Each structure stands twice: as structure tokens, then as C-alpha cells.
């Protein structure tokens, strides 16, 4: 379908499975690849004039698309470009939304800029990092982000959002849940520390470095250990890995109030249950631990889907899998955990084309 008013020329019925790490899901009614900010603005206007939903697709590593596909216009972000600005003791690294995330982390580590090293190996593109407030091994991108350049869709203009305006929380932000359809991320700026020490706030990472005989690690040492730990859990996307068709963590780690925690502790019956106190007084639990204690084993399968053989928090697709199989298996996991412990797990991947009630709802300790 051609539109004479602008350069946007969407294709129709484009399969989305090849754009997603799970390799399942149906087509987009309309699909366009955006290589410039102007492309994004024109695509948004194209969809607005036709009263179509606009969906933004990045690396597809945190997304499950329904087998029936999705209506509306899907914009695949292919904006590239990285710039650096030195500001006193800081380096401000700005990357376009379509830049591969791990390449950017490697770029910073190679130059000795601290602040992103523990986020090595996370799949996907730069544009997703502020939306999800990506975090791993003791670091979150919100620790480094200074501003987000985005298209404000209702206003039809490009704006710059401050950290406060982004309202970052655990794997969340205003961009994700506060105003999920308002902004399209175009670029992100991170403030890093030249020559700064690496982040070491995670026990598994410290143990791995100790095992390597490294007690004063460099940024590169930390990056290598993080990649090795993630690889051991099949959390680095690599050809030939039988667990590679995954979105990584399928559920968020539940965060409970002290009162909620006290209510479930008798049902858990294990004082060694992993828990991490949060700054606001709540306590974060391990979703993977709860899944295993609910009776699921790594590598367990239900037809063409199952748990990763290396990590009980990752649902993996095998030959013949469909998106409906993934969601059904995820619901089975969640129902068992809720029945056993009274904790309702919340899915981490975005769900396109599913019933809004499917796999949604806050943790609800009984």
C-alpha cells in the first residue's frame, strides 16, 4: 500500500516470528522499517490518519506475538548512531534506539567507561533499555541514564525526558506502564565514569571473579565474568544452543511487603528461601526458586515448549511451537506457583495480540 503524502510505504502481512527470539507468532497487518527519526514520525502520522494502532519492534527478545498476528502498523526500529560528549568527570554516551545493546556495552568497556559492564550479554536494542529499566547483576540502566529522546505521539513532536519524568522502578518505567502508548524511544543518553571502578554488588559475580583468581577486577574482567555466567544459563543468544529460542526471564521476581511475606512464609516452609531486602522496605523473592519448589524441573517439557535446561525462569520453544503453547505453559507455571505459595507471578515479556486479561495482574499473596 503506497501513501503519497510521505515516504512511508508499509508492507502488508509481514511475518513477525523471524524478528523475535522465540520465533513464534503471526504477521503484522502493516510493517515498516524506520532508519531515521523522520521515518518514525511519518510512520506514526501514517497510522494516526488511518486510526491504526502503532507498535514498536526492537530486537524481539522480550516479546511474544500471538499466532493470529497483530493489527495496526508495526515499526521496526533500525535507527543507528553513537555519539560521545565529555562533561567534567563524566562521559555522556548517546545511542540511537536501534543500536544493538551489547555492542554499546562492549564499546563502553573497551574505553574504560564504567556504568554498564554488568549489563553485558543482555539481548535487544538500546531503545528497550529505558522502557524495561533493564537490570542484571546489581546494575540497572536507570543508574546511568540521564535523558531519553522520544516521540511524544499525541503531541506529534520529539521531546527529551528526564530521569524523573521516566519514573523508573524495578523492570518498569513511565514509558512501560505509566504511559505505555504515548512515547516512542528514539535515543538514550547514559552518563558513565571514565576510569571508574566496576559494579560489584552481586554475589554470583563476585564468586565467579574469585574462582578466576581476580580480586581487583577491571571492567573487562567483569564483562567476561558476566558473559560467562549468562552463557552458563543460556542467557546469551548463541547459535547451536538448544535453549536459544527464549525471551530469557519469563516472569518478574515478585516484590512483597513485609506483611505479604509473613503470610506466605508458612506455606513456603523453608527459612532458606532466597530474599533480597529493597530500599523501600519490601522484599524481592526469586521467581525461579518458586517455580522449582512448585514442582517444575529444568528441561521439563509440555510438547513443543518447556523450561530451559539451564534456567528455570526461561521458557524455551522447540520445533513446532506456537505462541499459544508458550502462553499456556506460562499460565501452568504461574497457576502452580500461586496455588502452592499464594504468589502470583507477573510475565516479563510484552504480549502482542493476546487477550488483555491473559497472563496479567499484580502479585497477589494469599
Active site residues: 171, 249, 348
Classify 29 as helix, strand or coil: strand
Task: Give kind and range of the element (H or E) at residue 206.
Answer: helix 203-211
Classify 85 as helix, strand or coil: strand
**What distance separates the 2 farthest-apart alpha carbons in the chain?**
66
Grid coordinates belonging to 32: 515498516
Q: How far is CA 29 from the centre of its chain?
A: 24
Q: Is 16 exposed, middle or buried (0-12, 13-18, 19+ CB in 10 A)?
A: buried
Distance CA 319, CA 105 (A): 32
Classify 339 as helix, strand or coil: helix
**What one-character DSSP code corresponds to residue 176?**
I
Neighbours of 218 (CB within 10 A): 15
Neighbours of 272 (CB within 10 A): 7
Q: Which residues pair with 187 in a beta bridge?
A: 96, 149
Q: How far is CA 179 from the centre of its chain?
A: 17
Distance CA 38, CA 25 (A): 29
244 closest CA partner among 318, 329, 313: 318
Task: Give kind and range of the element (H or E) at residue 45.
Answer: helix 37-49
**Is the separation of the CB atoms in 25 and 352 below 8 Å?**
yes
Contacts of 357 (CB under 8 A, 6+ apart): none
Amino acid at each position: 500500500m503506497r501513501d503519497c503524502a510521505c515516504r512511508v510505504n508499509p508492507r502488508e502481512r509481514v511475518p513477525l516470528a523471524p524478528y523475535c527470539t522465540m520465533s513464534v507468532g503471526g504477521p503484522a497487518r502493516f510493517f515498516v522499517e524506520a532508519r531515521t527519526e523522520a521515518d518514525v514520525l511519518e510512520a506514526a502520522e501514517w497510522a494516526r490518519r488511518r486510526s491504526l494502532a502503532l507498535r514498536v519492534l526492537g530486537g524481539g527478545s522480550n516479546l511474544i506475538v500471538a499466532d493470529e498476528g497483530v493489527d495496526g502498523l508495526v515499526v521496526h526500529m533500525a535507527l543507528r548512531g553513537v555519539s560521545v560528549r565529555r562533561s567534567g568527570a563524566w562521559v555522556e554516551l548517546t545511542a540511537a534506539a536501534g543500536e544493538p545493546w551489547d555492542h554499546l556495552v562492549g564499546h563502553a568497556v573497551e574505553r574504560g567507561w564504567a556504568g554498564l559492564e554488568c549489563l553485558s550479554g543482555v539481548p535487544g536494542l538500546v531503545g528497550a533499555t529505558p522502557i524495561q529499566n533493564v537490570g542484571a547483576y546489581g546494575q540497572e540502566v536507570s543508574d546511568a541514564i540521564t535523558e531519553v529522546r522520544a516521540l511524544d505521539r499525541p503531541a506529534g513532536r520529539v521531546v527529551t525526558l528526564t530521569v524523573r519524568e521516566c519514573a523508573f522502578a524495578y523492570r518498569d518505567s513511565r514509558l512501560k506502564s505509566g504511559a505505555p502508548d504515548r512515547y516512542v524511544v528514539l535515543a538514550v543518553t547514559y552518563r558513565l565514569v571514565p576510569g571508574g571502578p566496576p559494579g560489584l554488588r552481586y554475589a554470583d559475580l563476585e564468586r565467579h571473579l574469585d574462582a578466576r583468581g581476580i580480586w581487583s577486577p577491571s571492567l573487562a574482567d567483569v564483562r567476561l565474568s558476566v558473559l560467562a555466567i549468562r552463557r552458563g544459563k543460556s542467557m546469551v543468544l548463541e547459535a547451536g544452543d538448544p535453549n536459544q529460542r527464549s525471551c530469557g526471564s519469563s516472569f518478574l521476581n515478585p516484590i512483597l511487603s513485609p506483611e505479604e511475606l509473613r503470610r506466605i512464609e508458612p506455606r513456603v516452609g523453608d527459612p532458606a528461601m532466597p530474599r533480597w531486602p529493597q530500599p523501600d522496605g519490601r522484599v524481592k523473592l526469586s521467581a525461579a526458586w518458586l517455580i522449582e519448589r512448585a514442582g517444575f524441573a529444568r528441561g521439563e517439557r509440555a510438547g513443543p515448549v518447556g523450561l530451559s535446561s539451564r534456567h528455570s525462569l526461561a521458557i524455551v520453544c522447540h520445533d513446532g511451537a506456537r505462541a499459544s503453547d508458550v502462553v499456556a505453559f506460562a499460565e501452568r507455571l504461574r497457576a502452580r506457583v500461586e496455588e502452592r505459595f499464594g504468589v502470583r507471578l507477573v510475565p516479563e515479556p510484552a504480549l502482542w495480540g493476546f487477550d488483555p486479561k491473559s497472563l496479567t495482574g499484580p502479585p497477589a499473596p494469599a
